[in-house]
Amino acid sequence: MIQRRIALVLNSGSSSLKFAAFDLAAPDLPAIVTGQVDPADGDAAFAAIDAALAKAGAPSPIAVGHRIVHGGPQLLRHCQIDAEVIAKLEQAEPFAPLHVPAALALLATATARYPGRAQIACFDTVFHAGMPDIARTLPIPRAQRAAGLHRYGFHGLSCESVVHQLGPNLPARLVIAHLGNGASVTAVREGRSIDTSMGLTPSGGVIMGTRTGDIDPGVLIHLMRTGGYGPAEIEQLIDKEAGMLGISGRSGDMRVLHDASPDADADLAVAMFCRSVAKQIAAMMTALGALT
């Protein structure tokens, strides 16, 4: 009997840690276990994961893959994690202060839990790293751009999965819409990202569940001048209090908003989300030249 070779894959969110284990020794990489645990207590989370593996009769993983939202300006490929990669991740913290510190903490816990096992970083930004200058360049002075401020794009692992699943049926020109609490639209030509709706951070682009998407920067300046908003308050507003939640005053969850209909604010939130996504799809069609 062929011995199982288990790869554990971790996807950490703001309130949950999703996991899946795959058997690398079997054809088609079947999933052995999948689940979700609370990431607040890393040791307890990995104890639950190990219990799930044991229940499935699976051995300890030989490798652990980490979905990491932002690799910053230096980490442009998926890679095995070593001290140099950790140092570069630490330098990338200012680009994603809500995500990178949590990813580093989870990585430290996983390394301690599975010593000597390969830890692999898979970045959501990698798929977009080769975008042409016309798409990746932000309209800001050269000095800021030299400091790494440009369009990074996100949901790259989702886009890679779509491209992989289409395989030989991949069209030359494709628009991918990743729609959830976080949402983005990406233009793909010959399997490569050429433009995407999110920018320096995952806050831009289409209206999302609780995020503004693209917004006139003058709104934020106005709040700073008249409302006493600082960086923390601005971040809270654009990431946690806005989007469909802010419009509806009820929820950023599309299911809740549909159930609330007919309700003027809930209906407006849904309509604005749909309009926002449609406008980005049209923009990506323009970037591609067409879809046929």
259 catalytically annotated: no
Choosing from 124, 133, 195, 263, the catalytic residue is: 124
pLDDT for 15 equals: 63
Residues 6 or more apart whose Cβ sits within 8 Å of residue 22: 6, 7, 9, 29, 30, 31, 32
Residuewise pLDDT in 10s, the chain (292 residues): 567 899 999 998 656 789 999 999 888 888 999 999 877 777 888 999 999 999 999 999 999 999 999 999 999 999 999 999 999 999 999 888 878 888 999 999 999 999 999 999 999 999 999 999 999 999 999 999 999 999 999 999 999 999 999 999 999 999 999 999 999 999 999 999 999 999 999 999 999 999 999 999 999 999 999 999 999 999 999 999 999 999 999 999 999 999 999 999 999 999 999 999 999 999 999 999 977 6
74 secondary structure, DSSP code: T
Is there a contact between 101 and 94 (Cβ–Cβ < 8 Å)? no
What pTM value is reported for the model?
Answer: 0.91
Match 């599309």 to its residue by tokens. Answer: 254
